[in-house]
Amino acid sequence: MTTLYISLAAIFFYSLALLGVITQLFIRSGESPNYKKNIIAASSVATLLHITLLYQTIVTDQGLLLDLFNMFSLVSALMMVILLLTVLRRPVENLAIVLLPMAIITLCLRLFTEANSTALIQHSHELQLHILLSVVAFSLLSIAATQAILLAIQERQLRNHKPSGFIRALPPMESMETLLFQAIYIGFIMLSLALFNGLLTLQDMFAQHLVHKTILSLSAWLVFAILIWGRRRYGWRGRTAIRWTLIGIVTLLLAYFGSKIVLELILHR
């Protein structure tokens, strides 16, 4: 099966799952018996196809091809994996309303762009571990940011006494907030491990081509550290937690993808 067919099949099943979520949240009232099962089934098939595609496009004989769009695609696939694992124990399936379109968009972007061979990373187990930890951390914290955005919408609509069907389908705000901080705690641990691994693996994290990534990553780590401290010391929640979460993920986004966007899309290197 060629990469084109795999891409189209993954987009189809992601779209099928998204259609199910949209239908349930905005058209039907109440939860149908097979709602969750069908969404998970379609999403699981799409994610498996997505991972297969990533393996074929990223893993090469010369090393790992991690250009901008492959990285976007990898992060979106990993976010779907985390969601599917979480949904087995927690009622978070409605986060798919945000994550499914992201996965579809990243697949489409990869379909219509050529891979940038200059982003090839030579095989190195230590470096691969650093990349894996970084991507897992970013994916977990991105899910936390998604929850923060939904929590902000939920809070605003409840305050205005006009909750939509979409908001009514979300878990209670207290549960959403608990899930938010669980994702932040685990993501923060993974980010800490990624930074520690980078210190051990990379010869100079403050070299000219890495200094901006290092400073921004450390800044993001500090933002999430302050948020966790504020949560434990002062019980931060609501708007304060949402604000710090979004500041942290934007900083991390600039660290991970800022230079790639400039080099690959603007400077074409």
Strands (E) located in 92-235: 120-121
| pLDDT digits 0-9 by tens, 5-56 | 999 999 999 999 999 888 877 765 555 557 778 889 999 999 999 999 999 9
What is d(CA 163, CA 167) in angstroms, rounded to the nearest whole number? 6
| pLDDT category of residue 66 using cuts at 50, 70 and 90 | confident
What is d(CA 106, CA 116) in angstroms, rounded to the nearest whole number? 15
| pLDDT digits 0-9 by tens, 101-144 | 999 999 999 888 877 666 667 667 778 888 889 999 999 999 99
pTM here is 0.85
pLDDT in the model for residue 131: 85
